[in-house]
Amino acid sequence: MVSVATWNINSARLRLPIIEKYLSQEAPDVLCLQEIKCLESQFPAQALADMGYTHQAICGQKGYHGVATVSRLPIHEVSRHDWQANGEARHVGVELVGKDVVIENVYVPAGGDVPDREQNAKFGQKLDFVERMTRWADDVERPTLIVGDFNIAPLESDVWSHKQLLKVVSHTPIEVETLQRFKDAHGWVDIGREFVAEPERYFSWWSYRSPNWRTNDRGRRLDHMWASAPLAAQARAHRVLEDARDWEKPSDHIPLVTEFDL
């Protein structure tokens, strides 16, 4: 079995203690982090290598965004796509050496607060980002797993209130339609929903602004693990770790992990 995890950590340096806690407790073979918020030279590479995650692919920038994939298994970096078209560090792709599997780690822009590209340039950039991903997906040929913070909750049961969030960025119809085009471009299989079937509640993010997050439970599923169909058929288990939202100085996201029989 090979286990792959994804987690928007919201600052790798600030939250190194809970990264270490997660790796000690869950020990995934591969961990894909988003929003590391640091330059590659500032990433806590040695601390994670000391825990056995010696194989690393880091795409960072100062203070914002950034992604990193760390692994106990040999990996080889194969790509860094600028789907934002402005040089931001939002993607890194690696292959699992000897497994013929590519793991794409992506951080889709949040898109600002107003769901209108005329009034809010960030929203247009988000839609354009996913469209560039869609054109890329048309040509994907190898068994591929794409994971990360997509910043879109596509299904009604992916949010705490479908009706109240229809006009809120992350769950608007145009975002859901744009993400569906990306899904159709390669026939991606939504691994999470293979194991947590709709309409079962399935969240991965709770706002810092909402106190008593567990009681209020106003969550959204912004984080995803999607696979090429042949690879999806090899998925054997999928878990979310909601308890991580209660750890000291938590991220507002929680980690997801899938186990594959490769």
| pLDDT value for 83 | 98
CATH numeric code, 2-260: 3.60.10.10
> What residue spans define the domains of the chain?
2-260
Three-state DSSP state, 260: strand
| pLDDT value for 210 | 83
* Digit-coded pLDDT (tens) for 200-248: 999 999 999 987 999 999 999 999 999 999 999 999 999 999 999 999 9
CA angle 29, 35, 36 (to 5 degrees): 70
**Contact yes or no for 224/192 (Cβ under 8 A):** yes
| pLDDT value for 137 | 98
How many CB atoms are located within 10 Å of the residue 104 CB? 24
**Contact yes or no for 189/230 (Cβ under 8 A):** no
| pLDDT value for 91 | 98
The ranges of the chain with pLDDT < 50 are: none
Q: Are strands 55-59 and 223-227 parallel, antiparallel or unpaired?
A: unpaired
Three-state DSSP state, 200: coil
| pLDDT value for 96 | 98
Q: How many angstroms separate the CA atoms of 209 and 71, rounded? A: 33
Three-state DSSP state, 205: strand
